[in-house]
Chains A and B, each alone.
Chain A
Amino acid sequence: RKEVEQDPGPFNVPEGATVAFNCTYSNSASQSFFWYRQDCRKEPKLLMSVYSSGNEDGRFTAQLNRASQYISLLIRDSKLSDSATYLCVVRLARGAGNMLTFGGGTRLMVKP
């Protein structure tokens, strides 16, 4: 079983749609959680950290359920520029530095 699992998609949605991505992680000792965005043939960039209380950044909302070991990302009012691969990322422990574990990514394509 992969340590971080995501539906690879692609998710094809029209502009203005709301889309949700899910992710599960296997190690209950995981401490920090993130969503990264990766455009085609580019490097990953941090989209947002994910906190237990849930957090929102504009059109993006992230949720964490530690009991179910489940992370989600909701994108409202999708824009063409949201088309990218979204990577669910977990850090095992506070002392684990930059030893990040990535999911395989979920590809989003927003159509006009």
Chain B
Amino acid sequence: DAGVTQSPTHLIKTRGQHVTLRCSPISGHKSVSWYQQVLGQGPQFIFQYYEKEERGRGNFPDRFSARQFPNYSSELNVNALLLGDSALYLCASSLVEGHEAFFGQGTRLTVV
């Protein structure tokens, strides 16, 4: 079975641009969450979705948005990119809320 898959794996963007990151959860998993991991730090929670509804939002500006589709895949959108948005963006899925979270390999975003 495929694990959590994220695309793209690497991305370079210019300041001010916007980016869309994609995540496909493990088959059957209904909960998807997004994390940002800056180099040298632990991951920070951005959003969680369950059954297409936003269930939680971390301390990130409104430039960050996300959604979950009927097939439970998810997109994370970041507008007006800043240099400080350079990070590894991780997607995690779980069967239902509160169950073990499995992480994808991440998308490494570099903003120049």
- Chain A: residues with CB nearer than 8 A to chain B? 4, 32, 42-46, 87, 91, 94-105
Contacts and interface: CB of A to CB of B under 8 A. Distances in A.
A81 B43 CA distance: 22
Interface string B68-98: 0000000000000000000000101010011
A44 B90 contact: yes
Interface of B: 31, 33, 35, 40-45, 48, 50, 55-56, 58, 90, 92, 94, 97-98, 100-106
B42 A104 contact: yes
Contacts of A102: 35, 42-44
Contacts of B41: 104-105
Contacts of A4: 42
A32 B81 CA distance: 34
A43 B97 contact: no
B72 to A, nearest CB: 13
